[in-house]
Amino acid sequence: MQNILVLHGPNLNLLGKREPGVYGVVTLDEINQMLEREAQELQVKSAALQSNHEGVLVDFIHAAQDQHQGILINAGAYTHTSVAIRDAIAAVNLPTVEVHLSNIYRREAFRHHSYIAEVAIGQISGFGAESYRLGLHALVDYLKQS
């Protein structure tokens, strides 16, 4: 059975409370529960982890190499700043889909660049919590075709 690692970056633990006009009212727990249900329907396993610390996210990515077949990641603000997370994804060479709740291209200019995009198989943004579900489906479809 395919095993997908779901990674949530900084401040995503505050979903539902943090800027609901931008990020919505769905909590991280609700997103994880939805992804677990979707994974079961897709006949894959998923494991969700969150950290506010860049090095911890890098460690999670490194550990994924031996346990998971793909990564679904919302790196939060690290999307726009972290060469370390980008390099970790490239190093483990696991198919990765980048997701964002908001449309990063309709926001501040500094959010328009993603270090992760060039090492991801795709990116989905702007659909709120649905971005995660769409990303999971895209990743599972990709893995089935590989």
The annotation status of 42 as a binding-site residue, yes or no, is no
Edge-first strand order for the sheet with 45-50 is 45-50, 3-8, 70-74, 96-100, 122-125
Average pLDDT over every residue of 24-51: 96
pTM: 0.94
The domain limits of the chain are: 3-145
Q: Are the CB atoms for 131 and 99 separated by under 8 Å?
A: yes
Is residue 16's pLDDT more than 80?
yes
The annotation status of 51 as a binding-site residue, yes or no, is no
Tens digits of per-residue pLDDT, 55-110?
999 999 999 999 999 999 999 999 999 999 999 999 999 999 999 999 888 887 87
**Catalytically annotated residues:** 23, 100
Tens digits of per-residue pLDDT, 98-112?
999 998 888 878 788
CATH 3.40.50.9100 for domain 3-145, yes or no, is: yes
DSSP string, 50-119: E-S-HHHHHHHHHHHTTT-SEEEEE-GGGGGT-HHHHHHHHHHT--EEEEESS-GGGS-GGGG--SSGGG
Helix, strand, or coil here: 125? strand
The annotation status of 59 as a binding-site residue, yes or no, is no
How confident is the model at residue 104, as a pLDDT? 86
How confident is the model at residue 85, as a pLDDT? 98
Q: Which residue has the tokens 């291209």?
A: 105
